[in-house]
Structure 1
Amino acid sequence: MINIQSLTFSYKPGRPLFENLNLQLQPGHIYGLLGKNGAGKSTLLKQITGLLFPDAGKVEVFGEVASERNPSFLQDIFLVPEELYLPKVKIKQYLATRACFYPNFDHKAFAAYLKEFDIPQHQYLPEMSYGQKKKFVISFALAANTRVLVMDEPTNGLDIPSKSIFRKLIAGTLTDDKCIIISTHQVRDLDNLIDSIVIIDNHRIIFREAVETVTDKLSFKVVPQLNPAETVLYADSNLRGHAIVTPNQHQEHSRIDMELLFNAVLSNRQSIQEIFN
């Protein structure tokens, strides 16, 4: 569905942000795009949605060149940006002028999403808090029912109950023909939601694995004390002891911890790569 080949891009001449980057994303999956500040996550999302153009290489979505931004491409892809810029209108006016651009827009679903997030349908957009605006845009994005949904830091501004609702709605909207990409720094918000992980660092894809593969090869657990005889790929001390990532040598079943995995990949990249390769 999304095919990125030999992508090279720079904001300044001679200082490439991406160089020969390759990535393929398939329908039927929720991808978590993780990375530090400045790693290039938002830039990559803009390449996928055709808001930035490659210097070299290609970015194709549904077989179409993203940078050409053909109507058939635009009506089937939606980006929820980190920064929101909404017009000075009421929700109904916004709906009347924008839903028409998405042939599969589901008005009943949109009303249901607003109700889930406790957003009145008659609300005037400028009077909303940042969190309410984020919930409104998420509701519109889900109701647009596009085959590709791209979300940049969607949980920023959401309170804890709203994050729970967000995860439920995202999980419920995925179908075999849809691809959802979520970029976030708040990696714990993606636990139990995504099924594939992409980590970008120093402007390169350094890790791309399915969650099932990760839990087959790695074990996540909390121990009261570190055992010198045990291979620990990453450890984080907390009030309960030590949260650790180890090779899953005994085929243990454990629940993935996105934050631990992210830190393990960044701090112990070679050992992680050897395990997965």
Structure 2
Amino acid sequence: MIAVENLSFTYRRSRQPVLNEFSLSFHPGRVYGLLGKNGAGKSTLLYLMSGLLTPKNGKVLFRDTDVRRRLPITLQDMFLVPEEFELPAVSLVSYIELNSPFYPRFSKEDMIKYLHYFEMDIDVNLGALSMGQKKKVFMSFALATNTSLLLMDEPTNGLDIPGKSQFRKFIASGMTDDKTIVISTHQVRDIDKLIDHVLIMEESKVLLDESTARICEKLLFKDNTHGELLEEALYAIPTVQGNCLLLPNVEGEETEINLELLFNATLATPERIAQLFHDQNKEL
């Protein structure tokens, strides 16, 4: 659906490029978790993918069209939810009337459904809402546009604990086989049961680009209280009860992904993690 080809980008006041010869592709029917440390270029990548920033070199193709051309054929079929945004002090009904015509597949019925996931109604004034409530409204509008590509930057920031649980149900309810959702976040625990594909980036490199199914096929996430498996672990995080371990899944055990553990392990030992997926003939 969308191809990032050899992107290079540097902000005007910086000498260091945020992205350099960076390439990546996204496919329909998947919810991607885009992970990386601060400064890795996650937000910049989303803005480049939406055509709001111009790369120094390279391009982003959405259905074979360069997104930087900002043509109606691409703009009406993608939506970016930035980390920070402003909404006008108007009624939500007025906001919908003004903005929904830009999106041919917008559904007011879907909008009402998504608002209900967040325990909100359509009869509200945007100027009277808290930041968390505005985020719920804006995300509901974004999903109700029914665009093929939905980009979300730190969507759970500003949400309370019930709101984060509602967010997971909200995204799952709006997912279809022809939609691609990319979620960039530091709050990995908010999305570990939501995404089905993991992207970890660092210094213009993609360290991991795998489905959660394949990750759980190759890696075993295990809480260990006795320490007997510590020497076999690819990576370990100490906990109050013992250790949280990342192990090779040699026996094909069922396991639930731990994104925090996977992220830290991939940054600490990228070659060792990549070896499991790309060079199975070599020993660890």
The corresponding residue for 1:9 is 9
The corresponding residue for 1:88 is 89
Q: Which moved more, 1:219-228 or 1:255-264?
A: 219-228
Structural mapping, 1:107-256, within 5 Å? 107-227=108-228, 230-256=231-257
Distance 1:138 1:14 in 2: 35
The corresponding residue for 2:64 is 63
Q: Which moved more, 1:221-230 or 1:232-241?
A: 221-230
**How many residue pairs were aligned?**
277
Distance 1:229 1:31 in 2: 31
Distance 1:105 1:152 in 2: 21
Secondary structure, counterpart of 1:5 in structure 2: strand
Secondary structure, counterpart of 1:11 in structure 2: coil
Q: CA deviation at 1:227?
A: 2.7
Is the CA contact 2:117–2:170 (under 8 Å) kept in the aligned structure 1?
no
Q: Which moved more, 1:118-127 or 1:167-176?
A: 118-127
Amino acid at match of 1:200: M
Secondary structure, counterpart of 1:212 in structure 2: helix
Distance 1:88 1:148 in 2: 27
Is the CA contact 2:112–2:121 (under 8 Å) kept in the aligned structure 1?
no
The corresponding residue for 1:39 is 40
Distance 2:69 2:187 in 1: 32
Secondary structure, counterpart of 2:232 in structure 1: coil
Q: Deviations over 1:193-247 (max 9, x none)?
A: 1110001112322211111110111100101122367421221122232111011
Distance 1:255 1:95, change over 3 A: same
2:56 is the counterpart of 1:73: no
Secondary structure, counterpart of 2:18 in structure 1: strand
Distance 1:164 1:54 in 2: 36
Distance 1:141 1:56 in 2: 29
Q: Deviations over 1:141-188 (max 9, x none)?
A: 111100000000111111122212211121121111111100100001
Structural mapping, 1:17-32, within 5 Å? 17-32=18-33
Secondary structure, counterpart of 1:112 in structure 2: helix
Amino acid at match of 1:9: F
Distance 1:157 1:14, change over 3 A: closer
TM-score in terms of structure 1 length: 0.96
Q: Deviations over 1:43-67 (max 9, x none)?
A: 0000110011111111101111011
Amino acid at match of 2:10: S
Distance 1:93 1:117 in 2: 20
Secondary structure, counterpart of 2:73 in structure 1: helix
Is the CA contact 2:117–2:169 (under 8 Å) kept in the aligned structure 1?
no
Q: CA deviation at 1:14?
A: 4.8
Amino acid at match of 2:51: G
Amino acid at match of 1:7: L
What value does the CA root-mean-square deviation take over the aligned residues?
1.4
Identity of aligned residues (%): 46
Amino acid at match of 1:224: T
TM-score in terms of structure 2 length: 0.94
Distance 1:93 1:270, change over 3 A: same
Q: CA deviation at 1:248?
A: 1.1
Secondary structure, counterpart of 2:223 in structure 1: strand
Is the CA contact 2:230–2:245 (under 8 Å) kept in the aligned structure 1?
no
Q: Deviations over 1:1-26 (max 9, x none)?
A: 01111111111475221111110110
Distance 2:247 2:25 in 1: 28
Is the CA contact 2:236–2:244 (under 8 Å) kept in the aligned structure 1?
yes
Amino acid at match of 1:154: P
In structure 2, runs of 5+ residues without a counterpart are 279-284
Distance 1:48 1:193, change over 3 A: same
Is the CA contact 2:151–2:182 (under 8 Å) kept in the aligned structure 1?
yes
Amino acid at match of 1:128: L
